[in-house]
A and B are shown apart, each in its own frame.
Chain A
Amino acid sequence: MVRNNLWRAARALAAASVLLLSGCVRKGGLVLLDPKGPIAAAELHFTILDVVIMLGIIVPTAILVIWFMWHYRATNRKARYDGRWDHSYGIEVVVWGIPILVVAVLSYFSYKGIFEVDPYNPRILDKPHVTAATARAGAPASRPVDVNVITTDWQWLFVYPKLHIASVDKLVVPVNTPVRFRLTSATVDNAFMIPQLVGQIEIMPGMRTKQALLASHLGTYRGFSAEMSGPGFAWMQFHADVVSAAHFRKWAAMVAKSPDHMTDGAFDAFAQPTFNLHEKSRYFSQVQPGLFRYVIHQVHMGKVFTTPLGAGELMTAHMTRVQ
């Protein structure tokens, strides 16, 4: 208990000092210090732990170096000079011992951390820090929501396979509900990230990666691709809306009424290189079952969505005209 309180105090202090430095917690501020879900919170926990341990060794070392530099300056006649001294077993043991000890401690925390945040830990959503967050909110353990994420050049398609709906550049998930992602790309690598909810996972063409998250606070969060994927990469931003269960059902019903359908053929048209300027959302209903597998299969069979020659300039000029 005491340890817990101390930990909270240290964390608050560390967070406060960093916040003071930048003077902002507004949108677009230090989002990594403001987690809105248990997995992101665990990531912050280990960040602070690591920084505190490392500062515990770096600050004394820096003070030592600065003191040596000051005290043993050539102009200081009072400092003792020993022009032959270059070895001491005692000091050698200490200078090897300290780094070994620090690395051992950090390795232990690294081991702890991996199992709390790695989406490839099959029981990630059953870990105590995740279930505790749901329990604290008083929410019953809801059935997980599945989302298939498909990236193209350069848009996000979020498919809700059980609901047969899809949305572009907008992810909507219910609060306090585990969300399981499967991710793939139709073209090149991207990386999926929502800093306040969950860390990064690579999205690769022809392969399926996994991610899992649980959001414990309502709100709209920023998501984006964190891996360079070509000229339209800077525009691969999306909104992640965390909404109540009732609101989520309403939203799903609204999307299900969309006149646009997403079939395999429609996907091939959708996946043509496109700059999605300023995150304009689109919705699709009646998504063809197995779209995710279709995309992976097509990539395996050699399907490419070729970038036109000189794409950057041409596409930017084109999009400007469209606007």
Chain B
Amino acid sequence: MLVHLQGPWSPLWGRLSLSEVPYHNMIVVGAFAFAIVLGAAIVGAVTYAGKWGYLWREWLTTVDHKKIGVMYILLGLVMLFRGFVDALMMRTQQMMAAGPHAAGFLGALHGYLPPSHFDQIYSAHGTIMIILAVTPILVGLMNIVVPLQVGARDMAYPYLNAVGLWLTAMAAALVMLSLFLGDFSHAGWVGLAPLTELPYSPNVGVDYWMWAIQISSVGTTLGSINLIATIVKMRAPGMTWGRLPIFTWTSLSTNIIALSSFPVLAVALFLLSFDRYLGTHFFTPGLGGDLMLYTNLFWIWGHPEVYFVVLPAFGIISEIVPTFSEKPLFGYITMVIASMAIAGVSWSVWLHHFFTMGEGPAVSLYFSVATMLVGIPTGVKVFNWAFTMYRARIRYDVPMLWAIGALALLLTGGLTGMMLAIPAINYTVHNSVFVVAHFHNMFLLIAFAAMGGINYWWPKVFGYKLDEKTGRLVFWYWVAGTIVVFVPMYTLGFMGMTRRLDYVAHPSWLPLLQLEEAGIALYCLALYYQLKQIYVSIRDRAANRVGADAWGTSRSLEWMTLSPVPFYNFAVTPVVHARDEWAWRREHGYTNLRPSRYVDIHMPRNTAVPLVIGALSFALGFGLIWRIWWLTALSLVGIVVAMIIRAGDTDTGYVIAAADVERMEKQADLRAQTVPGGRTGQPIRAVP
């Protein structure tokens, strides 16, 4: 060992020991029981239905971009639930622990969570929500939609796509494991240096956080390479840059951000792991280290990461608003310029996350102005959406509701963001719950857009619409919860309430904290209706089947092919004639066209290698976290061997004969005739 470890270590088990299982903590035991019951129920159900073979062939080893996208979104939704439970626990603790006379339970002085447990919860909440919930949901949507929008058969690198998914999933598994074995980081999702250094975080918590992020960010980086290559190289004939759908444009800009910023995070975390494992002094305060170096590196990634998640959200809104306005997007070219401008500015604003570090006024001024520049393209986007609705015929279906909600959140988030960008104001609210309310405001914008996107593209992937009535209830409860939680939170920020408090010193804040808890109850109702919406939709799917154009007024290429999309996407590669190709074909009456002849389709073959690499990465992370060196070495060798085996595999694709394609298309045609809108996607409702 190059570093001084508190606690025991053995060559076989590393730092692992039975005492690392927090069986004395009632909350963790409850969560463990819940996880076991749920896991057993899922395993039992799959076994009972005899679906293991199906699961293995169709999902676990798939390289189909749509299925991978669905799994990304499923992973994101599960982690969203976990993050929400964390939020619920934090709100409850702050409500219970307000004032010196607040009672204490379960070993806590006040409330029911001792500080170390509370600190892990907010760190896990942040890490999960940003890296393992919002990011997978958006990556999943991009995975599903981008190849369809550019008219491709799959991603440029289908195998790499699956590797990215399994790396992200295993990172999530590591974070979940930290619940039941050892602990999670207590230093926030940003990993405050030097709090993350070994003397101040002697447990394995920071290691869990560090390696989980490291593994998932490799997955995200691979995904960004894949999406950029797909958009640049896989476009159908006629799909010029000027005709690229706006969601694909935002995907391009967002993945350029990811590709250029995630390596910075990897470097920052590697240097931190050198500190924690090899005893170096990159970020320690003493012996030549510089903790501000970490803070800078982290936010050089961290701020672009914010735009990495917000740009696809803007793209989703830009797809939904024109469809339900029955009009093309206003100002397409400025929209593209604005998306690229946001990506460009995103690299030069990172210091606004620590205006209070004591830099001079001139440095503050530069970053303040740079930050406010982001407001220009963002403001343009708001106006463009508004003018898309000018002289429109707006229908308020569920996706449109989510888009409008996101727009409202963007206006309030923009107001508070412009406040935080001014150092004179930032000095008073930095690190307060005002900041917390601001970025939740912005992340809820992203969540609203993502929910809109899921409702919008669900029929494309599964062939039937999500239930409208419960969908509206989900939306309105979510809106109500957002208002009731975050208006008091903004107010508390002006009362001087700092973030990350496990104990609230001022009983006078209690009413507002109780109000926030009531908002959480509203979110619980939204969650209930969300589950109900999915259940009802699957139950009544036969009644809600849709044709190719699920909404009747859709505009881009993905609505041209069947719903659900066949695994080969398009029977013949489409030729693109206009910016909104599907709207163009509808206007010109070309929706009923059939190919005169079918051709062979070359498709990638399923492979289990990505799953194996993912599992070995999990073992690698586990070995590193617990310092079990033999496991670390074995899994590292295993990963390299798996990559070599895959590289030697020349039989990675297969051909569907033209006759088979024709047969499948004919069958689909017959099926589609029983569905409103049918094969061609005629408008479902009579347009006045």
Contacts and interface: CB of A to CB of B under 8 A. Distances in A.
A74 B395 contact: yes
A16 to B, nearest CB: 14
Contact of B285 (A85, A121, A206): A206
Nearest to B429: A32
B506 interface: yes
Interface in B493-528: 493-496, 498-509
A251 interface: no
Contacts of A40: 428
Interface residues of B, number: 110
A50 B508 contact: no
Contacts of B404: 69
Interface stretch (A168-176, A226-234, A258-266): A226-234
Contact of B386 (A31, A47, A65, A278): A65
B358 A111 contact: no
A99 B380 contact: yes
A270 interface: no
Nearest to B202: A309
B116 A201 contact: no
B373 A103 contact: yes
A172 B503 CA distance: 25
A106 B332 contact: no
Contacts of A146: none
A291 interface: no
Contacts of A88: 387
A54 B421 CA distance: 12
A218 interface: no
Q: Taking each of A72, A116, A308, which has the highest tally of chain B beta carbons within 10 Å of its own beta carbon?
A: A72
A169 to B, nearest CB: 12
Interface string B79-109: 0000000000000000000001000000111
A11 interface: no
Given A32-B429, A103-B372, A188-B195, A58 B422 contact: no
A226 B422 contact: no
Contacts of B329: 86
Interface string A261-293: 000000000000000011000000000000000
Contact of B389 (A58, A69, A83): A69
A234 B108 CA distance: 13
Residue from B202, B387, B504 having most chain A Cβ neighbours under 10 A:
B387
B195 A201 contact: no
B372 A106 contact: yes
A266 B186 CA distance: 29
A222 B495 CA distance: 11
Contact of B200 (A79, A102, A230): A230
Contact of A28 (B495, B500, B502): B495
B44 interface: no
Contact of B431 (A57, A91, A191, A316): A191
A189 B291 contact: yes
Contacts of B377: 99
Contacts of A231: 114-116, 119, 186
Interface in B324-376: 325-332, 334, 354, 356-361, 364-365, 368-369, 372-373, 375-376
A219 interface: no
Contacts of B325: 72
Contact of A114 (B193, B365, B382): B365
A139 B597 CA distance: 94
Contacts of B642: none
Nearest to B100: A278
Interface string A15-26: 000100110101
A309 B6 contact: yes
B550 interface: no
Contacts of A83: 326-327, 393
Nearest to A62: B411
Nearest to A85: B391
Nearest to B434: A32
B615 interface: no
B331 A95 contact: yes
B431 A114 contact: no
B199 A306 contact: yes
Interface in B573-618: none
A248 interface: no
Contacts of B365: 110-111, 114
Contacts of B391: 72, 79-82, 85
Interface stretch (B412-420, B564-572, B620-628): B412-420
Contacts of B359: 120
Contacts of B495: 28-32
B223 interface: no
B116 A311 contact: yes
Contacts of A202: 354, 356-358
A55 to B, nearest CB: 7
Interface in A71-111: 72-74, 77, 79-88, 91-92, 94-96, 98-100, 102-103, 106-107, 109-111
B422 A99 contact: no
B107 to A, nearest CB: 6
A38 interface: no
Contacts of B415: 51, 54-55, 58
Interface stretch (A1-9, A157-165, A295-303): A295-303
A85 B199 CA distance: 63
A319 interface: yes
A200 interface: yes
Contacts of B392: 68, 72, 81
Contacts of B385: 65
B676 interface: no
B200 A307 contact: yes
Nearest to B289: A206
Contacts of B431: 191, 200, 226-227
A86 B332 contact: yes
A272 to B, nearest CB: 13
B383 to A, nearest CB: 4
- 3 A-B pairs with the lowest CB-CB distances in the bound complex, closest first: A312-B116, A199-B427, A113-B424
Interface of B: 6-7, 100, 107-109, 114-117, 119, 186-188, 192-195, 199-203, 284-287, 291-292, 325-332, 334, 354, 356-361, 364-365, 368-369, 372-373, 375-380, 382-396, 404, 407-408, 411, 414-415, 418-419, 421-432, 491, 493-496, 498-509, 688
10 contacts: A32-B493, A58-B411, A74-B394, A77-B688, A82-B327, A116-B424, A205-B291, A224-B496, A313-B117, A316-B107
Given A82-B391, A95-B380, A224-B505, 15 more contacts: A30-B495, A68-B394, A74-B688, A79-B391, A85-B330, A87-B330, A95-B334, A95-B387, A109-B422, A110-B368, A189-B291, A199-B428, A201-B427, A226-B498, A304-B200
Interface of A: 18, 21-22, 24, 26-33, 40, 42-44, 46-47, 50-51, 54-55, 57-58, 61-62, 64-65, 68-69, 72-74, 77, 79-88, 91-92, 94-96, 98-100, 102-103, 106-107, 109-111, 113-121, 153, 185, 187-189, 191, 193, 195, 199-202, 204-207, 209-210, 222, 224-235, 237, 277-278, 299-313, 316-317, 319-320
